[in-house]
Chains A and B, each alone.
Chain A
Amino acid sequence: MARQSKPTMSRALQRRENIAGYLFMLPSLIFFLGFVVIPMVICIFISLTDANMNSSGQFVGLSNFIRLWTDSAFLEALKNTFVIVIVSVPTVCAFSLWVSSAIYRMKGPVLSAFRCIFYLPVVTGSVAVTVVWAWIYNNYYGVLNYIIGPKGLGLIEGRINWLGDPKYALGCIILILFTTSVGQPIVLYVSALGNVDTTLIEAAQVDGATDFQVFWKVKWPQMMPTTLYILVITTINSFQCFALIQLLTKGGQGTNTVMYHIYWTAFKLTEQAGHFGYANAMGVVLAIFIGILSAIQFKLAKEK
């Protein structure tokens, strides 16, 4: 009797868990499936067609993807995107690690003040940040030219047209992106540094380890999960850089990025309203790149 009733009990229990579990999941699943998963699936389908704004187009196989590798505008956008990622990800990580290790032992209010200030550009929002930086960079009225110009530090003569010159434009955008990217990593690193096991640090110090050794041998390994998370979110953020481009240069002066190019192809290319199929193919390629990079970062972090 007891032997028979046990499996049926657990089956009833399992059913109960199933029903309760899915009922609790249901509201969230409706939104998640409806507005994330289904669009993702449709995205792949559209990328295999020549759809535009008015028609759903015909199946064209992989020709959109093949066309991408001969499209010089796309390749340039891809190159710029990689430049942004390669420059900003390591600098954001290193900078936020340095700032966090300098501030995490400070007293409560001082620590929160610093943390808030470095988070400010994130909260201010990309539009407000972009509008004010456009003014700072302005050729004639901008404060940057004044500060480093003859009347300020005297580093340059005359004026530099920061956003209008292909030599500087991408660098200027990376700088703004940098200020809006370090906020979250600093918050995360401060909390990770605070959670490092202090007994290990003390043990290392008793054994005569220098501050530098304590950092690399004790703290750094313990912060690996945080570093990994920061690498992934910063990479995704850098790939997504859009508002800065759209509001400052409209992709000109050598600042076109894949994200902006997708938007432009889908909505702004005038010869034929909306190259949806082609733009979606770019989206799929971008997603694949991000997926590969995230996977590599996970793998590297695991090995360490």
Chain B
Amino acid sequence: MKIQSGNSRAYRFVSIIILVILAFLFAFPLYWIITGAFKSGADINETTKVVWWPSQWVGDNFAALFKKRSAPLWELAVPFSNWFTQDGRLLYWSVGPAAPAAFRWLINAVFMAVAAMLLTCGTAAMAGYALAKKRFNGRAILFSLIVCAMALPKQVILIPLLKEMSSLKLYGSLWAVIFPTVGWPFGVFLMKQFSESIPGEILEAARIDGASELKTFSTVVMPMIKPGIGALAIFTFINCWNDYFMQLVMLDSNSVYTIPLGIATLQAETSTDTGLLMAGAALASVPIITVFLIFQKYFTQGIAMGAVKG
């Protein structure tokens, strides 16, 4: 047992006070977004004092946001149909009714993030397992290529990626954001770290019992790396949702915008309507924060584990 000296107790006290102040400062922007979204125009444009709490909660900002633009609620395209049509446009199976564009942007963002998440988790879990447990030729070279690629900023390859997407006729579709996200090797790296901890004897036992490679993977490996997959899923979801740069470059119309990109374009044209922008920011951030808060336990464990072992 160590007896705390008065000095260190005072230090602890002061540090807690500083921490609480910092916590308020860090939470303030979010507080400001949410209250701002419900403030009336008069509250927002008040210049003589600061309206810390809305004098009256109004839905005007959301109403204005939803009136601003419209887009079909959904469009189900025939994949790659633009390769075969004369005018190079996609054929649609079904197109939804016109709705406020902000709804469509939300749907797009969710679709994009979920698709990227599922594809990343699936491919990375298999690849990570192979890198950790299979002694195939060329494994070391592949792994060092992956580590090098991780240190590169994604934006550097933007122009070639753009050209590639337009020659694949994927430019302007959500897949142009999804595929590069899936290709980003962080997921493989993280899953390799998790797969390292699978005991070789268990895999050996499964093989002796006559389980096929796929069966071993799905029934033995998958349950053991589940926490890692959870962490990777939430990590990919958040990253893809917030990857503004990629969305900005690849997406070009109302019906493919995501909510962050949509809000950014609104900011470019109506930078004076603060209330409307806060409503948009709230719509862009509240869903993702909710997802984060629900799964934050897996998330914090996961990113810590990936780094500590790396």
Contact = CB atoms under 8 A, between A and B. Distances in A.
Interface of A: 14, 17-18, 20-25, 27-29, 31-40, 42-43, 46, 99, 102-103, 112, 114-129, 131-136, 138, 140-141, 143, 146-147, 151, 179, 184, 187-188, 190-192, 195, 205, 211, 225-226, 229, 232, 236, 239-240, 242-243, 246-247, 259, 262-263, 266-267, 276, 279-280, 283-284, 286-287, 290-291, 294
Given A125-B241, A125-B242, 4 more contacts: A23-B213, A31-B183, A43-B156, A121-B30
A121 B146 CA distance: 29
Interface centre among B50, B142, B305 (most CB of A within 10 A): B50
Interface string B10-33: 000001100100110011011011
B206 interface: no
B86 interface: no
A89 to B, nearest CB: 15
A184 B294 CA distance: 17
Interface of B: 2, 8, 15-16, 19, 22-23, 26-27, 29-30, 32-33, 36, 44-47, 49-50, 119, 122-124, 126-127, 129-131, 134-137, 139, 142, 145-146, 149, 151-161, 163-164, 179-180, 182-185, 188, 213, 217, 238, 241-242, 244-245, 248-249, 260-261, 263-264, 267, 271, 274, 277-278, 280-282, 284-285, 288-289, 292-293, 296-297, 300-301, 303-305, 307-308, 310
B267 to A, nearest CB: 6
Contacts of A34: 164, 179, 183
Given A22-B136, A118-B26, A134-B271, A188 B304 contact: yes
A283 B149 CA distance: 14
Nearest to B129: A24
A236 B151 contact: yes
B307 A188 contact: yes
B157 A39 contact: yes
B183 A36 contact: yes
Contacts of B281: 127-128, 131-132
B231 to A, nearest CB: 11
B180 A232 contact: no
Nearest to A24: B130
21 contacts: A24-B217, A25-B131, A28-B188, A36-B183, A40-B160, A43-B156, A102-B16, A117-B26, A125-B285, A129-B29, A131-B33, A135-B32, A141-B274, A147-B50, A188-B303, A188-B308, A191-B301, A240-B245, A267-B249, A279-B159, A286-B153
A240 B264 contact: no
Contacts of B282: 128
A114 B19 contact: yes
Nearest to B122: A27
B26 A131 contact: no
A124 B159 contact: no
B35 to A, nearest CB: 11
B126 A127 contact: no
B29 A294 contact: no
A291 B29 contact: no
Given A28-B126, A117-B23, A192 B308 contact: yes
A138 B278 CA distance: 14
Contact of B33 (A27, A118, A132, A240): A132
Nearest to B126: A24
Given A38-B164, A135-B278, A21 B130 contact: yes
Nearest to A192: B308
Nearest to A186: B300
Contacts of A99: 19, 22
Contacts of B151: 232, 236, 290-291, 294
B183 A283 contact: no
B182 to A, nearest CB: 5
A23 B217 CA distance: 12
B156 A287 contact: yes
A191 B304 contact: yes
B152 A32 contact: no
Contacts of B122: 27
A131 B280 contact: yes
A286 B156 CA distance: 8
Interface centre among A122, A138, A187 (most CB of B within 10 A): A187
A136 B289 CA distance: 21
Contact of A125 (B149, B160, B244, B249): B244
Given A125-B244, A242-B155, A115 B300 contact: yes
Given A236-B153, A259-B155, A27 B244 contact: no
A12 to B, nearest CB: 13
B144 to A, nearest CB: 13
A141 B45 contact: yes
Interface centre among A36, A263, A283 (most CB of B within 10 A): A36
A126 B157 contact: no
A225 B308 contact: yes
Interface centre among A21, A243, A287 (most CB of B within 10 A): A21
